[in-house]
Structure 1
């Protein structure tokens, strides 16, 4: 709790790390502050000197009776991942894996969880299996499709989102539908052509879950796989 409180207190200091040109933005206000070299720091009971990524000493800034340090210095000191999106002027703290520069969160992100009802399920990382449409993908969730609407893959995004850009590839001709966590249908029936990449935008309507039913496949020679590519993203 102490670490979280400290980070929250110092978040506002991120403006000191922005590029000089940012001062032209309408919400940037010029202030008069002082670098205070007299302040000493103790971290976890041990004397600590704030430094930047190159090991250079960083002095705290005193402004209106409050002491500030650059957010990056604090984040690095406490091993807290930090990511800055200059275009959106958004700072992300904590796990940023799977977060793209425009704040789309892909299925590569660690918070993504899956459950399934199928004869087989794979978390595919073998890139040799993931070349579709002349493009190399790096990861996918793969489940088997059935002839009827009984097999599914459910993805838990970790929080609620408004939209899902879904990228799928079937190893045979088949169809799919997307439902939310309350089994409410979010899409019409959509066809997959064997080997072709299909991209669909799904209105999640503020859902934390998407359940993808795959069906209509020819199962006479076994249950074909369908790949839900991890380049799919929510926002």
Structure 2
């Protein structure tokens, strides 16, 4: 589920905290502003203190009647992904426009680029996770989005036998973010998973004898 960017009052959430690239531009304009350490915050009724990546307390800045808050700290509190592109000097809030393949962040056995194993329904996906071992077994692999993305679009196919249990889990909190099944007749099935702020994921499936798990890494992606 996509989460919305929410801001209360006249606060303008426009500053990244501890992001060196923000300060490196040659077009910066010097201003006279004021820090306001007396301002208090609540998020969903609970006290909240903005902090940088190292845990140091951050305070808002007041400039010409407008209050500016650190984007990274506030986005974390609201569950909205934030990223910064140093080359284009662009702050990204929520989902980015283009997807990023999970191929660069996967860790697990059964990954293959063998053309005899990467083809499904006549299409060669080039790079896949394909557990085609024998017997009843559990299968899984790790992904490392590192808190950079809002959503995981995971494509999965059951080969030979239906997959009656598959889940995506936040490996740091053990919270299952998505639970489902995959039938052979469904073909490639796409799971959309909210992964805002998640550092690492565990993908798990229970497989039957003569059943295989096929995950194309080139068409499964983060946004």
* TM-score between both structures, scaled by the size of structure 1: 0.47
Determine which structure has the larger helix proportion and give its number: 1
**TM-score, normalising length from structure 2?**
0.49
The higher radius of gyration belongs to 1
